[in-house]
Amino acid sequence: MLTVYGDIRSGNCLKVKWLLDRLGRDYRWVETDVLSGATRRADFLARNPAGQVPAVVLEDGRALAQSNAILGWLGEGTVYVPADAYDRARMYEWLFWEQYSHEPCIAVVRFQRLLGGKRPDEIEPRLMERGHAALARMEVALAQADWLVGAGPTLADLALVAYTRVAHEGDFDLTGYPAVRAWVARVEGAFGIS
């Protein structure tokens, strides 16, 4: 059986769980608390030298890390990966952007506020600026289309909803992003996220 090592508080871990659940795949979830140092133990590092979650151990014992790589592997051959090569490349464009321009701001601020106990005045202002710039880019795209790529939900939508839906926990108010708010509801409905 597929084994997923993940911290349930992490959007990166949840998006893997949500896709597995949506696809009806059997898996074993091993809760791995990143704050306790569980990802720095020798046994975990032997599985995933990067020392991060999520990490997946396949049925044959091979390991795979990085949330969007895992999504790509799980999504192969499903409706969540576009058949058209250009649309598929655009989906990957959003997946790469999510990890480079969205998650490092919105998820980091959320972590610092929610789990790190930092006050708003202790948050690096540049993180807030970059987070709002990411949300603004999404707003422009989603004001023109229901989904990030094509006519239905893709892995890009799933990846980006993970931290966008809880952006308020990092003091990112989505009130000024109506298209993003409507999209969050669509993605939650499409993937059965509650």
Q: What is the pLDDT of residue 158?
A: 98
Which percentage of the chain shows pLDDT scores above 90?
97
Q: What is the pLDDT of residue 150?
A: 96
Mean pLDDT of 27-33: 97
Per-residue pLDDT band at 111 (split at 50, 70, 90): very high
Q: What gap in Å lies between CA 123 and CA 69, rounded to an integer?
A: 30
Instruction: List Cβ neighbours of 3 (8 Å cut-off, separation of 6 or more).
Output: 27, 28, 30, 56, 57
Q: What is the pLDDT of residue 99?
A: 97
CB 55 within 8 A of CB 30: no
Q: Is the pTM value of this prediction over 0.75?
A: yes
